Amino acid sequence: MMQTHKVDLLILGMGAAAELAAIYAHDASPSLNILIASKALKGKGGCSRMVQGGFNVVLSPDDSHEKHLMDTLKGGQYINNQDLAKQLVEEGTPTVKELETVCGCFFDRFPDGRVHQKPFAGQSFDRTVHRGDLTGIEIISRTTEQVFKRRIPVLEETRAVELLLDSTGKTVTGALLYDMRRCEFLVVEAAATLVATGGGPTQYRFHAPGPEKSADGIAMLYRAGARMRDMEMIQFHPTGLIVPGSVVAGALLEEGLRGAGAHLYNGEGERYMQRYAPDVAERATRDVVSRSAYMEMMAGRACPEGGVHIDAAHMGADFVLKAFPGMAERCAQFGYDLARGRVPVSPTAHFFMGGAEIDTDCRASLNKLFVAGEDAGGVHGANRLGGNGIAESCVYGRLAGKSLARFLATDRSITKTAPGLVKSLVARLQEPLLRTGGRSPLEIRHDIQETNWLKVGIIRNKKDMEEAIPIFRSLGDDVERASVSESNACNMIYNVWLDTRSMIDVSIMAATSALLRDETRGAHTRLDFPEQRDDYGLFNTFLWRGEDGMPVTEKKPVEFTHKSLEACQKWKK
């Protein structure tokens, strides 16, 4: 018989957004019955832990929330949800302080005791708080301790596979989970559900997130019928390690390295960013630097390893080893010397700016559903500034916890799941274990990644994207017909199959939304429409799952609720 849990609050994920939501919901209402489900081991997985650079926040009297907001809107090329962007920068200040006072984080200091803040690209002030270049480990280590301290139960290596709905299809009643150790399904019904699994665009050849990531939360939200926004906006980080044949290919050399003065060179030894962005060179925003590197590679000016080179040696080996010990050690593991030589890098898929549409209380479009972190869209617009990602996770995790406590203070009722829904979902999900003769999920995953890299990647055009969508649909059929050998132990190939389901959904969403935007803006670059057109492109794309399983789309004008278009255009960093 299938195991069933009933709780007040189900939290899917265990990164910064999920853990802070659990901490703040518990502290606001200690009687809440909270359950966390994590695809990884406690405190050992996800993207938050991998954050190297830091947390953008206003702390100095010489800085201001106004400046941080304008930087964020400029970086997002004006299509941000301004209510969320304003909330991010204003709530960032108390959030980072409470990371120290509530959670016990300790960030680097100036000699006088002030929190150290370093430069990141796209900012008008050096406002990035950090712990060396291992900031995410500091944050997740401390927040995980606080989850333990509060005795909040965690289901480890238990991934969410579907959100559950009532008979109307408008209210989320919990989630169907899969215990990866025991290869068993279980049901959790909840008065409120928070999706905070993190994004992780691993559907590309080069990708920065860890191998356990597959955009499960975003895909589940779409399949449940949640309203999604700006799914064409996928950020490529410009400097992912090239490590042939390794699962860590695409792992980041973070923003602070370029902020500190590292240079980029093509295969001909040219410092090419001086040509693409002469005013700021390597400190241009991620979309500009990624696009520039890709164009150098496609023009035949790649380095021998197939990408470009990053060079920090001119800053001095002692400085590099002291300021960036984590990156130096990672490079050394693969035979590269970051402190004394050039290291091969490539643009690597890094972050979804799009996701579920939410309000300032983290409520999504379905009843009893909340979303925080990278699974939500709107904060970053068309491009996220480095350092605003972990800030979003922490700020909106904290806010989601408080919002959920307020919601559950008035309603802890658990809505009944639609009759027969769980049984039908489990039967469908077990089919690959009973089937023979289908394609291997490993082959399907490779084809998804190559199709995205070549046709819906850093630089796009209408022809490629129109070709990509039927390819994705065909690969989706392959997923439905795939075969996985049955096993009573942990079945990794079956988990890859579950990953491919998510990858197909996010790939179709991204390509569909990208075809709606006939211009270049932020992370979305169109070779056939190379100009950013503010007379045309100031809209957000929205989509939701139609009855045929394909996206239904809508475009709506951007709402300039706090800053005018003219003010955004004139802002100089």
In this structure, the number of other CB atoms found within 10 A of the CB of residue 318 comes to: 9
What pLDDT score was predicted for residue 488? 66
Condensed to tens digits (0 to 9), the pLDDT of residues 409-426 reads 999 999 999 999 999 999
335-359 mean pLDDT: 95
Cα–Cα distance measured from residue 335 to residue 259, given in angstroms and rounded to the nearest whole number: 24
Q: Is the pLDDT of residue 1 over 80?
A: no
Cα–Cα distance measured from residue 125 to residue 104, given in angstroms and rounded to the nearest whole number: 26
Residue 48 class from Cβ within 10 Å (0-12 exposed, 13-18 middle, 19+ buried)?
buried
Q: What is the largest CA-CA distance in the chain?
A: 67
3-state secondary structure 419-433: CCHHHHHHHHHHHHH
Mean pLDDT of the chain: 94
Q: Give the CA angle between residues 225, 229, 230 to the nearest 5°.
A: 145
| Signed CA dihedral, 338, 340, 344, 348: sign only | positive
Quick one: what percent of the chain has pLDDT higher than 70? 99
8 to 157, 175, 412: CA distances (angstroms): 21, 13, 6
What pLDDT score was predicted for residue 549? 92
Domain ranges of the chain: 236-349, 421-546
Task: Judge contact between 2 and 185, C-beta under 8 A.
Answer: yes
Cα–Cα distance measured from residue 414 to residue 402, given in angstroms and rounded to the nearest whole number: 20
- CATH 3.90.700.10 for domain 236-349, yes or no, is yes
Condensed to tens digits (0 to 9), the pLDDT of residues 361-375 reads 999 999 999 999 999
69-75 mean pLDDT: 96
Q: Would you give the end-to-end CA distance of the chain in angstroms? A: 60
- pLDDT band of 103, cuts 50, 70, 90: very high
Q: Is the pLDDT of residue 247 over 70?
A: no
Q: Is the pLDDT of residue 395 over 70?
A: yes
Same fold, 236-349 and 421-546: no
Q: Is the pLDDT of residue 573 over 70?
A: no
Specify the CATH number of the domain 421-546.
1.20.58.100
Cα–Cα distance measured from residue 485 to residue 487, given in angstroms and rounded to the nearest whole number: 6
Q: Give the CA angle between residues 79, 82, 86 to the nearest 5°.
A: 140
Cα–Cα distance measured from residue 252 to residue 195, given in angstroms and rounded to the nearest whole number: 25
Beta pairing partners, 186: 3, 177
393-414 mean pLDDT: 98
Q: Whose CA is closest to 7, among 39, 43, 37, 45?
A: 37
- pLDDT band of 550, cuts 50, 70, 90: very high
- pLDDT band of 483, cuts 50, 70, 90: very high
What pLDDT score was predicted for residue 572? 82
Residues with a known catalytic role: 237, 258
Beta pairing partners, 193: 10, 369
Q: Could you tell me how far CA 318 lies from the centroid of its own chain?
A: 33
Q: Is the pLDDT of residue 465 over 70?
A: yes
